[in-house]
């Protein structure tokens, strides 16, 4: 029978590495820490999204919105950052691949709703 874990119970498993230092006293506390981090992550994603929207102002067409070389640069950069900071690189890269795909879809919509800057103003 499948049953959700008891968030308030004590540990049922332990790591065999003697150097492992537990971070929380209960699953409930773990989840509260995760919820607080999600709050910060979503706020940062909102800020990132505003910059992605602004990027559309500097682009000429749909290929430039997609900018595949820049995408690759971002994936390589976040993977390296993950490795350097102890995050799981494959998780970070997969998350960014999904995030950037979503941001590009929104940027494509924003781009389609924009108008060209007249040549005399785009110096
Ligand atoms: C923000 C840009 O537009 C798009 C979104 C990107 C992103 O979310 O990091 C990267 C490249 C583009 O696909 C950009 O060109 O820099």
Residue 123 pLDDT > 80: no
Q: Is the CB of 100 inside a 6 Å radius of any atom of ligand 1?
A: yes
CATH of domain 27-114: 1.20.59.10
List the chain domain ranges: 27-114
Tell which wins on pLDDT, 78 or 1.
Answer: 78
Q: End-to-end CA distance of the chain: give it in Å, rounded.
A: 67
Q: What is the C-alpha to C-alpha distance for residues 24 and 27, in angstroms, rounded to an integer? A: 7
Top mutation candidate among 56, 58, 67, 105 for ligand 1, by most atoms within 8 Å of CB? 67
Q: What is the pTM of this model?
A: 0.94
Residue 22: is its pLDDT beyond 80? yes
Is the pLDDT at 42 greater than 80, yes or no?
Answer: yes
Buried b (16+ CB within 10 A) or exposed e, 81-111: ebeeeeeebeebbeebeebbeebbeebeeeb
Structure tokens at 45: 């994603």
């Amino acid at each position: 029978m499948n049953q959700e874990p008891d968030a308030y119970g004590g540990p049922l498993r332990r790591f065999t590495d003697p150097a492992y230092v537990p971070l929380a006293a209960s699953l409930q506390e773990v989840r509260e820490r995760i919820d607080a981090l999600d709050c910060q992550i979503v706020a940062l994603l909102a800020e990132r999204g505003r910059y992605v929207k602004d990027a559309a102002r500097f682009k000429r067409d749909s290929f430039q919105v997609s900018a595949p070389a820049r995408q690759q640069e971002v994936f390589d950069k976040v993977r390296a950052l993950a490795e350097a900071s102890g995050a799981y690189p494959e998780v970070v890269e997969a998350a960014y691949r999904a995030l950037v795909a979503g941001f590009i879809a929104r940027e494509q919509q924003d781009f389609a709703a924009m108008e060209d800057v007249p040549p005399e103003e785009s110096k």
